[in-house]
Amino acid sequence: MSSSKVYLLAVTLVNILVATSVFAQPAPGVFQGSTNVGSPKRKGTVVYQTALQQYKVSGAGGNMWFGKDELHFVWRQVKGDFILRTNASFLGKGAEAHRKLGLMVRSSLKPASAHASAVVHGDGLTSLQYRKLEGDSTREQKLTVTGADVIQLERRGNTYTMSATRNGNVFGSDEKVELNLGDEVYVGLFVCSHNANVTETAIFNNVRIVKPAPADVVAYKQYLGSNIEVLDLNTKNSRVVYQSPKSLQAPNWTVDDKSLIYNSEGTLYKFDIATSTPRSLNTDPAKNNNNDHVLSFDGKWLTISSNDDGPSIGYVVPANGGKARRVTQLGKGASYMHGWSPDGKYLVFCGERNKEFDVYRIPVTGGTEERLTTTPGLDDGPEYTPDGKYIYFNSVRNGLMQIWRMKADGSEQTQITNDDYNNWFPHVSPDGKWIVFITFLKNEVAPGDHPFYKHVYIRKMPVSGGPVTVMAYLYGGQGTINTPSWSPDSKRIAFVSNTDLLFPVYPISKN
């Protein structure tokens, strides 16, 4: 090849790169690249804090509007449906009211690319912004919430839905738009300063790129992958501590603060938090364990539920594994174990008897079971308070699933939550001050059901009732938090979220 042709080829390649602004740098965490879209005078950066799984993104750019954009974009390529979610906020007061941060989906990294973006402005304006075609003018649909710091952008087919709220609240009304951005798109985080001479910085926590279940998934036969997450209840920041392509469910936190116990494919595992290593627990003869398993208050024993040759049966087994001893009776109906009395003398469980599901109490040694609830409809998830005075449970008796409380003998049954959601599995903190529970949306889930793979919240409220606060926004459901999962210091909880693990980046299960 002549030197003139080599020169022309080099110039052509440079012009292509300049035109598309694809000067991408490798990006950390779940992302593949970090790119200055357009030609901002000031280059953007991304810094990843591994311990917090937090992204610090800085970006400049004159604007992201009209027919082209200038911004900094941290991205990865994804095909098909997905859910993007993050908690995000700017650092400092900023120079421009219309500086922007958020989640973005682009057809390409070109400045004029078609896109859909969940945007929060410096002045609090929160909106779904989009460009339908390359080079087209940007359009906007404003949300009612202002100053949102929890944002979500979901794609189902060609429908893009933005949801947003202030941290601690449920999502309000959303905005939707139909766009054809192509099957494989660039998704991620962005910052635009709205001022070519200024760099702005934002912090992104709880960043999740979720691949949801397909519409034709067969419930309880086909499964997505799992994240075990640890949530700091003070900061509301959650870290993924383990991932598996299998279904992991219902982590219990051991009283020595060192391990989590979860079930997967019929086996119980003890997961060492420090080393990210699980080991299976012997529970013979119980070999098909489900997600109803609970540690005793002293941490020495587990009550477990196993449906080996028929309906689920309750057992007791040493916390480190060993010979399982049957507690509930054969031929009575299914028994799903949920709680220990603090003195270790009784177990409480959800029992199916004569096609009714109620709360029962039985001595740890076995024997005669005592029915504590008798109202028609499902009563489930019973759990003692640390002082042994009360049992919390969930009940569908008044329509939607709500949280209830009764005295340990079954008397004085009192409704604790009364809202427009389906609330399941109340768990009392070790210090006795709080309960956390999982909340399903009534437009997604029937009151008596708690299926896999739904949009759910984990919420917290004072143990005696009062204001309810969202602690986590996630994709999960069955197996997320069926059993007590508080840390011994009452400052953290463990739970499971779900996604199709196409791009795992955290410690991965080898089981």
Q: Which two tokens stand for residue 126?
A: 């929160």
* Backbone angles phi and psi of 101, in degrees to 5: -135, 165
Torsion sign, CA atoms 142, 144, 148, 152 = negative
Task: Give the 3-state secondary structure of 359-392.
Answer: EEEEECCCCCCEECCCCCCCEEEEEECCCCCEEE
Read off the pLDDT of residues 1-39 as tens digits, 9 standing for 90 and up.
444 433 333 333 333 333 333 445 777 899 999 999 999
Banded model confidence at residue 493, pLDDT cuts 50, 70, 90: very high
- Nearest residue to 322 (alpha-carbon basis) of 297, 345, 300, 347: 300
Q: Where are the beta strands (DSSP E) in 245-369?
A: 249-253, 259-264, 267-272, 277-281, 294-295, 301-306, 313-318, 325-326, 335-340, 346-353, 356-363
Using an 8 Å Cβ cutoff, are 262 and 269 in contact?
A: yes
Read off the pLDDT of residues 305-332 as tens digits, 9 standing for 90 and up.
999 989 999 999 999 999 999 999 988 9
Cα 231 from Cα 229, distance rounded (Å): 6
Banded model confidence at residue 508, pLDDT cuts 50, 70, 90: low
Using an 8 Å Cβ cutoff, are 303 and 293 in contact?
A: yes
Strands laid side by side in the 356-363 sheet: 335-340, 346-353, 356-363, 370-371
Cα 440 from Cα 255, distance rounded (Å): 29
Cα 276 from Cα 445, distance rounded (Å): 33
* Backbone angles phi and psi of 58, in degrees to 5: -115, 140
DSSP-derived secondary structure letter, 124: S
Using an 8 Å Cβ cutoff, are 107 and 158 in contact?
A: no
Cα 199 from Cα 37, distance rounded (Å): 14
Cα 18 from Cα 152, distance rounded (Å): 31
Using an 8 Å Cβ cutoff, are 437 and 427 in contact?
A: yes
Read off the pLDDT of residues 346-402 as tens digits, 9 standing for 90 and up.
999 999 999 999 999 999 999 999 999 999 999 999 999 999 999 999 999 999 999
Strands laid side by side in the 422-428 sheet: 422-428, 434-440, 454-462, 469-476
The pLDDT score that the predictor gives to residue 21 is 39
Q: Which two tokens stand for residue 183?
A: 């099957």
Residue 335 has pLDDT above 90, yes or no: yes
Q: CATH 2.120.10.30 residue ranges in the chain?
A: 225-499
For the ranges 281-285, 390-394, 503-507, the lowest mean pLDDT is seen at 503-507
Q: Does domain 22-210 have CATH number 2.60.120.200?
A: yes
The pLDDT score that the predictor gives to residue 223 is 95
Banded model confidence at residue 511, pLDDT cuts 50, 70, 90: very low
What type of residue is 340? W
Which residue carries 């427009």 as its tokens? 420
Cα 221 from Cα 214, distance rounded (Å): 13
The pLDDT score that the predictor gives to residue 26 is 74
Average pLDDT, the chain: 93
Three-state SS at 14: helix
Read off the pLDDT of residues 182-227 as tens digits, 9 standing for 90 and up.
999 999 999 999 999 999 999 999 999 999 999 999 999 999 999 9
**Dihedral angle over CA of 27, 28, 29, 31, nearest 10:** 10
Banded model confidence at residue 501, pLDDT cuts 50, 70, 90: confident
The pLDDT score that the predictor gives to residue 506 is 65
The pLDDT score that the predictor gives to residue 157 is 97
Q: Angle 290-451-248 (CA atoms, 0-180°, nearest 5)? A: 45
pTM: 0.92
- Nearest residue to 401 (alpha-carbon basis) of 372, 438, 432: 438
Cα 386 from Cα 498, distance rounded (Å): 30
Banded model confidence at residue 509, pLDDT cuts 50, 70, 90: low
Element (H, E) at 90: strand 82-90
Residue 488 has pLDDT above 70, yes or no: yes
Average confidence (pLDDT) over 254-260 = 97
CATH number of the domain at 225-499, please? 2.120.10.30
Read off the pLDDT of residues 112-157 as tens digits, 9 standing for 90 and up.
999 999 999 999 999 999 999 999 999 999 999 999 999 999 999 9
Q: CATH 2.60.120.200 residue ranges in the chain?
A: 22-210
Please count the other Cβ atoms lying within 10 Å of the Cβ belonging to residue 258.
14
The pLDDT score that the predictor gives to residue 2 is 44
The pLDDT score that the predictor gives to residue 27 is 76
Using an 8 Å Cβ cutoff, are 373 and 413 in contact?
A: yes
Residue 366 burial class via C-beta count within 10 angstroms: exposed 0-12, middle 13-18, buried 19 and up: middle
Average confidence (pLDDT) over 176-182 = 98
